[in-house]
Structure 1
């Protein structure tokens, strides 16, 4: 299976809210690089930590976090996806941004993820500080 197919499985699992299928797309030692300066920022290491991180998005947004993939391109083991992500949180301006997610795939699993938001400062304000 190609890298783009693995990322496609990730996107389908995210869209369906299928946490089991989502977890299966990550390598056990995967690294998720969450940019910014909010309570969700920082590197998450290991599939369990990544799944907890994604669950935290849902918890903070009251289950409203949605990620849509616009287009996907592949170069070897790297895949880039243009995305739109949205969420609502009481007391905060709604989050509705575009971005680019970059994945590195190895041995049929997502090994590393980098996220780039169009307005990191607004995203940080939405997620808030611990």
Structure 2
């Protein structure tokens, strides 16, 4: 099962990197729960695929389309949980953000059912997103 879950998460990160929203949508469960860390305006728990797509749209809007995950490290699984060390970045006018993070994703029935995100500098991320 861990090998299958790693493959699902690998496909997810590949699709995100390519901007393939159709594949991303297929990989996300309809009742997905997304835990966005911090105390910013985008922080909190977002429930449902549509709410998560709205959140991702806000990332793109607030970063003038520059938000990106520019490195995904080794994917590691423990049962239905898969972790990934990542590096992400975004720009908006004179503002710039780039940092490491860890994404922890839970897979159920072949789809991503829950996501927890961890940022290297949460205060800087909150300041960037507003």
Which TM-score band (shorter chain)?
A: over 0.9
Match of 2:88 in 1: 85
TM-superposed CA distance for 1:7, in Å, is 0.6
Q: Distance in 1 between matches of 2:42 and 2:92?
A: 14
Confirm or deny that 1:48 pairs with 2:50. Answer: yes
Q: Distance in 2 between matches of 1:26 and 1:117?
A: 22
Confirm or deny that 1:34 pairs with 2:66. Answer: no
TM-superposed CA distance for 1:91, in Å, is 4.0
Could you tell me which runs of 5 or more consecutive residues in structure 2 were left unpaired when the two chains were aligned.
none
Q: Runs of 4+ in structure 1 displaced over 4 angstroms?
A: none
What per-residue deviation string (whole Å, max 9, x for no partner) do you get for residues 20-41 of structure 1?
A: 1111111110100001011111
Q: How many pairs were matched up?
A: 127
Match of 1:10 in 2: 12
Could you tell me which runs of 5 or more consecutive residues in structure 1 were left unpaired when the two chains were aligned.
none
Q: How does 1:98-113 map to 2 (within 5 A)?
A: 98-113=100-115
Match of 2:78 in 1: 75
| Residue of structure 2 aligned with 1:65, choices 64, 67, 70 | 67
Q: Distance in 2 between matches of 1:3 and 1:46?
A: 20
Please give the root-mean-square deviation of Cα atoms over the aligned residues, in Å: 1.1
TM-score relative to the length of structure 1: 0.94
